Amino acid sequence: MSHSPVSEDLLIDLTPDAASSRAGPDHKERRGVMDCIRIEGGRRLDGTIAISGAKNAALALMPACLLTDQPLTLTNVPRLADIASMITLLGQHGASVDAAFDGAGGDTRRLTLQARSITSATAPYDIVRKMRASVLVLGPLVARHGFARVSLPGGCAIGTRPVDLHLKALEALGADITLAGGYIEARAPSGGLRGDTIVFPSVTVGGTENALMAATLAHGETVIENAAREPEITDLATCLTAMGARIEGVGTNTLRVEGVSSLTAATHAILPDRIETGTYALAAAITRGRVHLSGTRADLLHAVIEHLEETGVSITPTEDGFVVDARDRVLRGVDVMTKPFPGFPTDMQAQWMALMATADGAAMITESIFENRFMHVPELARMGADVNIHGGSAIVRGRRRLSGAQVMATDLRASVCLVLAGLAAEGETIVNRVYHLDRGYETVEAKLAGCGAAIERVRG
């Protein structure tokens, strides 16, 4: 019963057929490079924005289906291009997919994934190069199937992003890892993975996720030290526990996993997207407007909210989210440094820079997670932002008004930062390469237009 949804052209079709055709040769590039977002800036946002399920939680939860032959049902699944790519990848490993996104039966945005058997242990280059999160199939495949062959992701627009820590974690559990022809080949010992202590030398979200999933089916106890504490890890651990995994220390930086022989069926509701929440909170602030963010949780983004309040914006909790009010405020420049959770998220750094470009005074923004995440700076400069980069820090000297321009960005968060800048700028902004936005923001233009923004997608 695969429901085929998508009445609105704006939404991404996540049915398996549509997903695999989209993942065909450069489909996104063809369509997305041609499309653009046109914004007539200078309007205050006023209204409510419903927050979707978290992309980065979904991308870790979906591969967990490979750990069992039973069905895994996820609800509150965001409708995004990256989710479609993950569906294609899991299908290639043998998972069947049942998607319901049509609002029927009260279970909207539901995905049921079932890998009765692993039909292929290879994650091919063509999918992995488009979506780095593909590497998250590695741990589950080695743990259940005993073997995985996953293309090395290579560098990306925000840095070299190696996966050495993922591999060391699997080696600690007894996997034999070789690199051949651009592929990682990981093989479990004949009796299966064995629990052991994994000490991450630095915090890695994906590395923790791979290690955690692999450890659920390893023999004996695994201790993961210096584990990432991002809410998406907690969400994954909660889902794995519902599948029968035995995990202690969830939410702390030491995870203890007692391996079990098999996992079972489960249903799990994906937590709200904290980065989408933060992005729209900053959209309200940058337009000096007022927006109610619904279907979300302020506790997922304390650091962002604290810094936002420091700028002069008021935040009021509501029953299912919070209200951001920046009307008639003069915002102050506030420094931030990106850190692993619970610190200020690197995925909010570009958006913060756009906001600071419109604030009073200077702000220093320090990126400590990725070495190359200031690609948005030259584009913001084209809109009149005054930003100087010194190593891993950028000094933003705020000015009240940006001016619209033709811009484009090389990654998701950089792209949305340009959308925010466009909302605040005088005149017309055209943001090119919309496919970046489609990877992580569901119907960005519809959500913003619903609050009064003059924004539209122009099909190329």
Residues belonging to the active site: 156
Q: Do 119 and 133 meet the contact criterion of CB atoms below 8 Å apart? A: no
Looking at residues 324 to 383 of the shown chain, list those that interact with ligand EPZ (rule: CB under 6 A): 346-347, 369-370
Task: State yes or no: residue 227 binds ligand EPZ (CB under 6 A).
Answer: no
User: Encoding tokens for residue 142?
Assistant: 């080695």
* Closest approach of ligand EPZ to the CB of residue 141, in Å: 17
Task: State yes or no: residue 129 binds ligand EPZ (CB under 6 A).
Answer: no
Task: State yes or no: residue 273 binds ligand EPZ (CB under 6 A).
Answer: no
Instruction: With contacts defined by CB under 6 A, name the span among 86-94, 197-205, 313-321, 397-405 that binds ligand EPZ.
Output: 197-205
Near ligand EPZ by CB under 6 A: residue from 195, 206, 231, 272: 206
Near ligand EPZ by CB under 6 A: residue from 162, 251, 378, 460: 162
- Cα-to-chain-centroid distance, residue 270: 12
Near ligand EPZ by CB under 6 A: residue from 27, 43, 44, 161: 161
Q: Which of 132/149 has CB closer to ligand EPZ?
A: 132
| Sheet architecture: strand order including 386-390 | 336-337, 362-366, 393-397, 386-390
- The count of chain residues that interact with ligand EPZ, using the rule CB under 6 A, is 23
Instruction: With contacts defined by CB under 6 A, name the span among 90-98, 122-130, 159-167, 393-401 that binds ligand EPZ.
Output: 159-167
Length of the chain: 460
Closest C-alpha among 203, 204, 197 to residue 256: 197
Beta-sheet strands, E only, within 152-196: 176-180, 183-187
Task: State yes or no: residue 447 binds ligand EPZ (CB under 6 A).
Answer: no
For 171, list phi and psi in degrees, rounded to 5: -60, -40
Q: What number of CA atoms fall less than 13 Å from residue 437's CA on the CB side?
A: 28
Near ligand EPZ by CB under 6 A: residue from 205, 227, 348, 419: 205
Q: Do 384 and 401 meet the contact criterion of CB atoms below 8 Å apart? A: yes
* Closest approach of ligand EPZ to the CB of residue 386, in Å: 25
DSSP reduced 3-state for 1? coil
* Closest approach of ligand EPZ to the CB of residue 301, in Å: 13
For 363, list phi and psi in degrees, rounded to 5: -140, 140
Alpha helices per DSSP H over 202-301:
205-216, 231-242, 274-286
Q: How far is CA 345 from CA 87, 291, 350, 417, in A?
A: 27, 21, 10, 14
* Closest approach of ligand EPZ to the CB of residue 62, in Å: 11
* Closest approach of ligand EPZ to the CB of residue 412, in Å: 5
User: Encoding tokens for residue 229?
Assistant: 């504490």
Residue 299 burial (10 A CB sphere; 0-12, 13-18, 19+):
exposed
b or e along 14-25 (b: 16 or more beta carbons within 10 Å of the residue's beta carbon)?
Answer: bbbebbbebbee
Near ligand EPZ by CB under 6 A: residue from 28, 32, 41, 56: 56
Q: Which of 114/210 has CB closer to ligand EPZ?
A: 210
User: Encoding tokens for residue 262?
Assistant: 């098999």
* Closest approach of ligand EPZ to the CB of residue 436, in Å: 9
Task: State yes or no: residue 409 binds ligand EPZ (CB under 6 A).
Answer: no
Q: Do 28 and 13 meet the contact criterion of CB atoms below 8 Å apart? A: no
Near ligand EPZ by CB under 6 A: residue from 5, 71, 139, 207: 207
Q: Which of 100/167 has CB closer to ligand EPZ?
A: 167
Task: State yes or no: residue 52 binds ligand EPZ (CB under 6 A).
Answer: no
- Footprint on this chain of ligand EPZ (rule: CB under 6 A): 56, 59, 132-133, 159, 161-166, 202, 204-207, 346-347, 369-370, 412-413, 440
